[in-house]
Structure 1
Amino acid sequence: MIQILYIEDEIDIGSWVTKELTEREYVVTWLKNGENAEKYLQNADIVILDIMLPGLDGFSIGKRIKNEIADLPILMLSARTAVEDKIEGLSFADDYLTKPFHPDELVARIEVLLRRFQKNEDILEIKHLKVYTKDRRVVNSNTNEEISLTGKQYYLFQYFIRNLNQILTKEQLYEGVWGETYMEGDKTLMVHIRYLREKLEENPAKPMIIETIRGIGYRVKV
């Protein structure tokens, strides 16, 4: 699933854009300012950025993002229509769309940028699975069928992939995926791992991909 980092302080338009993109099955992280944007950059496939923001303006934020990750596409989304603003925005951003706009045009521009910046897919092979990390797809190489994972299931599996061959505690997994402190007795993680095994394992009763390390946590190894 494509992850979008969206920085917009206007509640009405921010809610509308987030709703439109979510309905089109994008994963949207909406921030009201750019103060903590750097925390979300590594997981973002594209940044949508307003200019007029509290604190640092969109121009300053966008330049910082490009300096940090040059191949992360940025789409400026602004009510400012002056040629000077567009020129400044396009000096670092990859596209500039003025408000008001139709959501179909926004989606079309997003897709163009994603295609332009598409890298060669990294394929990770784990037992009978092929994980296309850039495209966020998991395929059963025995049947050549794609395995459909929910957003949270994929985030959990992705966290394992980022920490391949490492034993991860329940606390690490819960905090890494849900962003909250793990409470002893909470069954959320256990339930998600059970569902994930049902989809990924050849025999969920004898898991070979997501291993249980008794008394510690779990591990995915290659």
Structure 2
Amino acid sequence: MEDTLKKLNIFVLEDDPTISKFLHVFLNDYFNKVIVKTDNRFNYSDFGNIDIFLLDIEIPFDNGYEVCKRIKTIYPEKPVIFLTAHSQIDDKIKGLELGDDFIPKPFEPLELIARLKNLLQARYSNLVYINDLVVNKQAHIILNSETRTEIPLSKTEKKLFFYLYENINIRLSREQIINHMWEGNDQSNQATSLNVYINSLRNKVDIEGKLIQTIYGYGYKLSVPKE
């Protein structure tokens, strides 16, 4: 989870200058990008590349509950943790109903990290980072790692990519791929179709030509360096 955390981005809303500065420095050791705001000068439409939110409830220009509602309206799948000096049961219940977790102030920093990790593990454990891509193994979608936007693939392109993905670093013959892609159909004229779909897939997910390798005279493989 540590390696995955360093590829994720967190948004923090905290108006207390001391706490906000501490969180910015502390969380930078764990996350790829930490964005800290102490006021309402931000746009909800800019949160596409944010993976998790940490919101103070008591903020003078609004309240964390309302900010959470707006976030969840646009990005319902993204987790939110509330920070608050209030620890009454009503506050906790409301925080858990609207968001995903609740931690009272003062908080233990390592407990905060543990809670963030738990939420991220639950939400993003099916994600694999490959070059500039984020591959969701369960949902069978591919995202741009920078913008977190889905890369649109046709049904056939998606089937081809995930067949290559399921056989990472394994040489697959053209016959193997064609049989998988068009099993039960006339495969005599599918060699040209395979070329077309390989080129289309490369244009969408492998512009630099490092991911989908051609094994000349044989077939293709999805090449990912072993860590």
TM-score by structure 2 length?
Answer: 0.55
Say if 1:8 and 1:32, in contact at 8 Å, map to a contact too: yes
Q: After the TM superposition, which residues 142-157 of structure 1 pair with which residues of structure 2 at under 5 Å, given as runs?
A: none
Residue in 2 that maps onto 1:19: 25
Residue in 2 that maps onto 1:199: none
| Corresponding pairs, count | 141
Say if 2:10 and 2:31, in contact at 8 Å, map to a contact too: no
Tell me if 1:47 matches 2:53. Answer: yes
2:92 counterpart SS class: helix
TM-score by structure 1 length?
Answer: 0.56
2:35 to 9, 29, 33: 29
- Quote how far apart the aligned CAs of 1:209 are: 2.1
Q: Equivalents in 2 of 1:59, 1:12: separation in Å?
A: 22
Which ranges of structure 1 fall in alignment gaps of 5 or more residues?
125-129, 136-154, 165-207, 211-222
Residue in 1 that maps onto 2:114: 108
Residue in 2 that maps onto 1:209: 208
Tell me if 1:118 matches 2:124. Answer: yes
Q: Equivalents in 2 of 1:134, 1:12: separation in Å?
A: 38
- Quote how far apart the aligned CAs of 1:162 are: 8.1
Residue in 2 that maps onto 1:90: 96
| Identity, % of aligned positions | 28
Matching residue's letter, 2:134: T
- Quote how far apart the aligned CAs of 1:158 are: 3.5
- Quote how far apart the aligned CAs of 1:121 are: 3.0
Q: Equivalents in 1 of 2:109, 2:55: separation in Å?
A: 15
User: Which protein is bigger by CA-based radius of gyration?
Assistant: 2
Which ranges of structure 2 fall in alignment gaps of 5 or more residues?
1-6, 137-143, 153-206, 210-227
Matching residue's letter, 2:208: I
Matching residue's letter, 1:84: D
Instruction: Give CA-to-partner distance per residue, 1:89-148, whole Å, 9 cap, x none.
Output: 111110000011111111100000001111633777xxxxx544269xxxxxxxxxxxxx
Matching residue's letter, 1:73: P
Say if 2:13 and 2:39, in contact at 8 Å, map to a contact too: yes
After superposition, the CA RMSD in angstroms is 2.9
Q: Equivalents in 2 of 1:131, 1:47: separation in Å?
A: 23
2:65 to 38, 59, 64: 59
1:80 to 64, 77, 86: 86
Instruction: Give CA-to-partner distance per residue, 1:57-84, whole Å, 9 cap, x none.
Output: 1011111111111100000011111111
1:4 counterpart SS class: strand
Say if 2:9 and 2:31, in contact at 8 Å, map to a contact too: no
1:30 counterpart SS class: strand
